[in-house]
Structure 1
Amino acid sequence: MASTVGTTAVPQLKSPVRVLAVGVPLAVAAGLTLPIQARINGELGVRLHDPLLAGLFSFGGAALVMAVATLVIPSGRAAFAQLLADTRKRKVPWYFHAAGLIGAYFIFAQTSYVASIGIAIYTVAVVTGQTVSGLAVDRIGLGPGGKRAITALRVLGVLLTVCAVFWAVSPRISGTPNPAAMLLPLALVVLAGVLMTFQHAVNGRIAAQVRSPIPGTLINYAVGTVALGLIWILKLAFTGGQPTLPTDPWLYAGGVLGCINLVLSALLIRRIGVLLTGLSMIAGQLIGALLMDWLLPVAGSVIYLQTVLGTLLTLAAIVVAALPGSTLRLFWRRGHKQR
């Protein structure tokens, strides 16, 4: 059955100047939370000797935070009640609520394949999936802002972003033994990036329908927590062993950062589109990673010139993707007139 979730009455930042001045910085800030969250969850995984359990704690903590927010904030309670009613009336497709499974798969792919293919190659694979699918999702109009044309500048922005991220992480990519063995893990990681874009688009649709990102985010994390919990129980049944929980409170803050990221993405996608939100968050991830290596270095943390230049190229790619399609035509016409 076709979805009746609205896509036309959503406020948009029409002016490219406003997009760059307001929407993009907020999306970059949302991206900044991801490397911090990864550092926290990574440390928790090391302490627990179980990265999957660390992801479960992150999702479970986020679900708890969003549940409290839903109960405490009156607009959150009203939006949650509206979402339930709209789902019963089929104004919101029931399968929209399964988007949390994508987040669970993303965490599962992250914890399963980063060690085998390396963080650098993992980053390139995820970004490739996110950017290409962001272009497609905007074109088919899955996001709340409706359809957005595939312009030459948007395609150029995607290509520049993928090249920039590859350049930024290139110093960490060394000779990889047995490349053929990496094909399946790479395909699964690219799939995680592709699916993550669809999750963000669906969350944006739900947020636009009920005028709040809170209930959709809560359901996402609740569904993801259940999925990761079942996977971990199966893992425990086969491997056994009871984990010893660390006592440092900051190790459990990853879920809060995840909430910030998902809420901001749901709000921004309906204003600046899926693709531009994704590109900006990628820039935020690179900037955040640089800041983490500079301010809070760990063993092996090195800041390379290629990483800095690649991050700057990513920011340039965002500017290119934010420009309207008519910009390239005007530039082309002016060039012909001057001849």
Structure 2
Amino acid sequence: MRASRLVSILLLLQTRGRMTAQDLAERLEVSVRTIYRDVESLHTAGIPLYGDAGPKGGYQLLDGYRTRLTGLTTEEAESLFLAGLPGPAAELGLGAVVTAAQLKLMAALPVELRDRASRIRERFHLDAPTWYRDQDPLTFLPAVADAVWNERRIQVRYRRWKAPQEVERRLEPYGLVVKAGQWYVVARTDGDVRTYRVSQILGLHRLPERFVRPDGFDLAEYWRGYLVEFEARLRWGEAVVRLSPRGLERLPDLMTPGVVTAARASAQPPDEDGWTRVTVPIESIEHATGEFLRLGTDAEVLSPAALRDRLAETAYELADRYRG
């Protein structure tokens, strides 16, 4: 958004000193012409900004000028990174803190930038959780977040999917991730870095000792690798399926993005009935049965035979039940 970019230009020049239009364009991923327009807007707003031509030229603020982002507490400054995520911020117990930080930021902006920022807030809203989902219990999320901030070990009682379902774990929490409205804590335990769903924590005890977060640990990079590994574990096998035109159209609404991508990549030309043959990954026979039943008569599984047989058995059972 342009208002955010104008603030970014101002803060970049405040923290880095002189920068060329090309440097600013690369840093903000816009064109040089856009930077020229933004600098003109800052001039109009009364920001003491000037530029020099030549090899050593560039834009810089007048000596001594600083934005008046004063009065922010430590928590408010940290919470600004959650300003675009009101739901998760509230779940972390930082809803009021984010609001206070935004008010102070708005008060410090020039009138033009303040008006633009207000228009963005009035016209855009992010609601991250998926549809038709009850809110997971997040009783221990603030305590987990506190352990992440302060690098404190925690002892948790955790519910997992395999037996034994309830286990005790001593965690060194490195970070928190929100995925589709679900909170996950990335933590080291028993020498390995693993991922735990916060809503499955049944009990938590703060331990007195601290841990040392490893230098260079990149939470975003870890999460990308975790997702790749997670999706690979789900691919138990493949299914060859015929889809009607309506089934192909409904696929993005009923299946996961990985299945949709695979279907589009493997789609063969429609046959004489207009149906398309695709090859998609499946997690298990049981899971795939429920997934393909959602497509009803708009899908026909050709292989594997075990999945085709299971779907046929389920269809017969349903017919008998409803016929009776």
The alignment's TM-score, normalised by the length of structure 1, stands at 0.20
Q: Which has the larger radius of gyration?
A: 2
The alignment's TM-score, normalised by the length of structure 2, stands at 0.21
Pick the structure with more strand per residue: 2
Asked which structure has the greater RCO (Cα within 8 Å, sep 6+), the reply is 1
